[in-house]
Amino acid sequence: MVKLNSPSVGGVQTRGANRDDLRQGNLATLLEYVYKNTTISRSDLTAATGLNRSTISDLVGELVDLNLVSESESPQAGRVGRPSANVTISDSIFAITVVPRHHSTTISAVAMNGTVASRVRIATPIHPSPEEVCDAVERGIAQVRAELKRGSRVVGVAVVVSGQVDVRNNSVRICSMLKWVDVPFGSLLEERLKMPVWVDNDGSLACMAESSFGAGRGFSDIIYLFGGAGGIGGGVVIDNQLVRGSRGYAGELGHIRITDSRSVDSLGLTGTLEALVNRDDLAHALGLDDPEDDDLSRAILSATTPRAIRLIEKKIQALGFALANLVNIFNPQVILLSGFLQPLFQANDYSLLSKMRQNAVAGSREHVQIRTTELGGRILEIGGAQLAFTDLIADPARARFF
């Protein structure tokens, strides 16, 4: 990818580019287009990239030779002129995604076209040790790969952790769900599997997925917030780039403080968004005991008791404060809400919007939208796969498979 304009601001550290980089960048750009669109015509690629027809022909040819994309006659009729061939992303290149939970770990094979070809859930002890998860992953991958058709290629493994991850060395700083502290899980797993492993935070990956394939499509500046049983996570995309921070801990949006309340969140911080807006409170007030997401959502939207309605309104107010903070800091185009934050928004979108606007600066509050997310239960698999495919897309010619 070649980025012109806006030179880097800090200490200069840009390297020069040679002819190889040029070719590599163009291949990457093309492959990214095909990946993001699953299938796209050659003429659209020409228009989008601004490259010459003959160049596109050459580059696509190379991607076909690399077995990364395939060309097919386009059945798209109705337009004057010679029909343009469709370029479709490979359906035989996979990322393995790993999502460890309290007492089970889910392993999936996700193709570049987004389909989950195979998925298994391996039970583990409660709060499994890193080794126990490694065992589960090893078994899971064997099972998952057995179901893939012959000739399938795997780029590596993406581990989606609900906790703080140092993305520079793929190690888990803290994961309360698994009770892990400073676990170099990436290295552990890499040694076992002899293939590349990437580890990242669930909120960041979900944000990335939603940005590329979900409700964030077409927006360059996005705030993503997810409310789950474990708390509130999130992610930020600025100028089409995921904000990771210096080590990858950025986007801990649940832990921003908004009030003096002494209620604490999952990390013991007081007055934070997560401390004020939590799932258990809501479920309890609505008379539910450990409900499924859908049940909680329905309950929130059809709440009738004054106490429940008051509580919901209170949560909406708190969420509004947090959103205002984020709007003031980022001036985003859109805020995406998922998990139980989604029904909160739907229960009284006017209230949430006005609370947010009340506490945001003039310019930023004016055009920001709040939306619900589009990707459902597969979001972590899609986000994890995207992480695993990143290197391949950045340098298609040098891709290695396992």
d(CA 28, CA 337): 31
Count CB atoms within 10 A of the CB of residue 269: 17
User: Which tokens hold the place of 195?
Assistant: 């293939």
User: Which tokens hold the place of 344?
Assistant: 């909160």
d(CA 371, CA 389): 27
Interface region with its own copies, contact rule CB under 8 A, candidates 73-81, 121-129, 138-146, 216-224: 216-224
d(CA 64, CA 265): 51
- Kindly identify the residues of this chain, within the stretch 133-152, that bind its own copies according to CB under 8 A: none
Residue of 42, 119, 244, 371 that binds its own copies (CB under 8 A): 244
Q: How far is CA 49 from CA 80, 220, 395, in A?
A: 22, 18, 17
User: Which tokens hold the place of 128?
Assistant: 């499994």
Interface region with its own copies, contact rule CB under 8 A, candidates 65-73, 90-98, 127-135, 324-332: 324-332
Residue 4 binding: pick among its own copies, DNA, none (C-beta 5-8 Å cut-off by kind):
its own copies
Contact flag: residue 17 with DNA (CB under 7 A): yes
Strand partners, 174: 164, 181
Interface region with its own copies, contact rule CB under 8 A, candidates 132-140, 150-158, 205-213, 295-303: 205-213
Interface region with its own copies, contact rule CB under 8 A, candidates 87-95, 129-137, 210-218, 281-289: 210-218
- Kindly identify the residues of this chain, within the stretch 315-374, that bind DNA according to CB under 7 A: none
Query: What single DSSP character describes residue 253?
Result: G
The pattern of x and - marking residues 41 through 80 that bind DNA according to CB under 7 A reads: xxx--x---xxxxxxxxxx-----------------xxxx
- Kindly identify the residues of this chain, within the stretch 334-363, that bind its own copies according to CB under 8 A: 359-363
- Kindly identify the residues of this chain, within the stretch 245-264, that bind its own copies according to CB under 8 A: 245-253, 255-261
Residue of 85, 116, 195, 243 that binds its own copies (CB under 8 A): 243
Residue 95 binding: pick among DNA, its own copies, none (C-beta 5-8 Å cut-off by kind):
none
Residue of 55, 74, 88, 113 that binds its own copies (CB under 8 A): 55
Residues whose CB falls within 8 Å of the CB of residue 361, separated by 6 or more in sequence, listed in order: 327, 328
Strand partners, 180: 175
Contact 166, 185 (CB under 8 A): no
- The length of the chain, given as a count of residues: 402
The pattern of x and - marking residues 217 through 236 that bind its own copies according to CB under 8 A reads: xxxxxx-------------x
The phi and psi torsions of 359 (rounded to 5 degrees) equal -110, 15
Chain contacts with DNA (rule: CB under 7 A): 16-20, 22-23, 25-26, 41-43, 46, 50-59, 77-85
